[in-house]
Amino acid sequence: MLLDVQNIHKTYQSADGPSAVLRGVGLSLAAGETLALTGESGSGKSTLLHLIGGLDTPDQGQILVDGQDIGAMDDNGRAHLRRGTLGVVFQQFNLIPSLRVRDNIAFQARLAGQHDAQWAGTLADRMGLADHLNKYPEQLSGGQQQRVAIARTLAPRPRLVLADEPTGNLDETTAATVMDLMLELVRETNAGLLMVTHSENLAGRLSRRLHLRAGLVA
Ligand SMILES: Nc1ncnc2c1ncn2[C@@H]1O[C@H](COP(=O)(O)OP(=O)(O)OP(=O)(O)O)[C@@H](O)[C@H]1O
């Protein structure tokens, strides 16, 4: 199994006392599967995605990515996993302003020691960025910037892509185009995709769907 999440608990401490956000969440995802994670605002979707991405640690439970327990890894191990196996796309594009589009696309693949100029070129073409490779992010529209961010995420050929409302900042038509491209490329590379979304329409286009309610998968 590409991703196996077992019995995850996470409680945040706040001024009002402890708040149990996740209370025994489990899910699994096979290579080539696309899974939508829905739930009301505050239900813990981003929290779960951060835990799976190794950006935070659960209080209890296990997360296995490609059979590796991320809780048993040290910071180096988690950083390595984030660079090589995992790809993350957020609502904010987080492009590097001082780098041209071509170098933004190659950035993570280079960090991971997996830069492949031909694949980077294919991604740029497929994302409709071929005429923009020498531009800087600020010279692009929001939809173009998000396409750069997605190409950058896919450039190291991640096995598992985690996406948090990746088209949430785009207008409906642009969002649909960007999502079509991302789903096509994810399917072609046989990656797994776990995507947080508020959009019913989008959730319906993925192969499976899970709903978080009261700290559990409903
Ligand atoms: N670092 C933190 N410290 C304390 N509480 C937090 C922290 N991060 C999140 N929370 C709380 O945990 C709950 C779940 O937050 P989370 O962002 O995971 O929800 P979400 O389902 O992604 O929401 P949304 O759909 O609005 O993005 C919220 O009540 C939030 O206030």
- CA distances (Å), origin 87, targets 43, 59, 152, 155, 212: 23, 24, 9, 9, 22
CA dihedral over 88, 94, 97, 100, signed as positive or negative: positive
ipTM score assigned to the predicted complex: 0.96
**Percent residues over pLDDT 90 in the chain:** 74
Strand partners, 62: 6
Cβ atoms of 23 and 44 within 8 Å: the answer is: no
pLDDT digits (tens, 9 = 90+) for 112-141: 899 999 999 999 999 999 999 999 999 999
Ligand 1: distance of its center to the CA of 127 in Å?
32
Give the Cβ contact number of residue 100 at 10 Å: 16
What is the rounded distance in angstroms from the CA atom of residue 88 to the CA atom of residue 77? 17
Token pair belonging to 197: 């979304």
Q: What is the arrangement of strands in the sheet containing 3-14, beginning at the earlier edge strand?
A: 17-29, 3-14, 60-65, 68-69
CB 42 less than 6 A from any atom of ligand 1: yes
CB 118 less than 6 A from any atom of ligand 1: no
pLDDT given for residue 167 in this prediction: 87
CB 38 less than 6 A from any atom of ligand 1: no
Which residue, among 96, 206, 106, 113, has the nearest Cα to 161 in the 3D structure?
206
Nearest CA to ligand 1 atom 2: 12
Residues 6+ apart with CB under 8 A from 142: 93, 169, 170, 174
CA dihedral over 88, 93, 98, 103, signed as positive or negative: positive
Second CATH level (architecture) for the domain 3-217: 3-Layer(aba) Sandwich (3.40)
Most confident of 11-15, 26-30, 88-92: 26-30
Longest CA pairwise span in the chain (Å): 53
Ligand 1: distance of its center to the CA of 35 in Å?
20
CB 11 less than 6 A from any atom of ligand 1: no
What's the one-letter identity of residue 100? R
* Pocket-testing residue among 21, 40, 41, 210, ligand 1, by greatest number of atoms within 8 A of Cβ: 21
Which string of b and e fits 22-52 if b means at least 16 CB within 10 Å?
beebebebeeebbbbbbbeeebbbbbbbbbb
Ligand 1: distance of its center to the CA of 114 in Å?
34
Q: Break the chain down into helix, strand, coil percent, rounded to 5.
A: 40, 30, 35
Ligand 1: distance of its center to the CA of 168 in Å?
17
Average pLDDT score over residue span 7-18: 94
Residue ranges in the chain assigned as alpha helix (H): 45-52, 75-84, 101-111, 117-126, 142-154, 172-188, 200-205
CB 21 less than 6 A from any atom of ligand 1: yes
Query: Using 50, 70 and 90 to split pLDDT, how confident is the model at 213?
Result: very high
